[in-house]
Amino acid sequence: MMKKMALVLIIAASVLMSCLNVCEAAVTEEPQVMHVGGKVLCQDCTKDYKEWVKGDKPINGSKVSITCMDERHRVVYYGSDGTDVKGQFELIVNKIRSNGKSFNAQDCLVRLISSPDATCNVFTNFGGGRTGVKLGRPSSVYRDLIKYTISPLYFTTPMCDEPHLKY
């Protein structure tokens, strides 16, 4: 009877240990897909201060891109997305490359590409849209989801464009 009890305890312990190993692997494994979201807005500098600060409007159909580099500064991922009527975009990026290696989200840059609004299509660097925004910390991490939310990117009207003078 004692031998049977010892055998049952050994089997139960081995099953429990294998379950713990599977659970640990699932917890330590990083998600392979990341989501990057944000907004694209139009800021009109011809308005008074109160309207200028709170009067930004979303741009439907503007394009935003993401470019990710590897440790040797080579492009390993490029993707783009358009905005909806609320000016929001959602880029979904697969972090695993064709050779099986992944890249760091901090090596990715999000920038503006174009605006379909003829009255608001001048790139600004307010929010980093012209030069690009590096991803920082994720705004949400839950099971298989890592989401980065960047601050709004802005276009402005042609009247607000700064002249690019060379002396």
Nearest Cα to Cα of residue 135 among 40, 46, 83, 66: 66
pTM > 0.85: no
Tens digits of per-residue pLDDT, 62-78? 999 999 988 888 888 89
**Domain edges within the chain:** 1-30, 31-160
Q: Number of helices (H) and strands (E) in the chain: give both, helices first.
A: 2, 11
The pLDDT of 145-150, averaged and rounded, is 91
Q: What is the pLDDT of residue 123?
A: 87
CATH code for the part of the protein at 31-160: 2.60.40.10
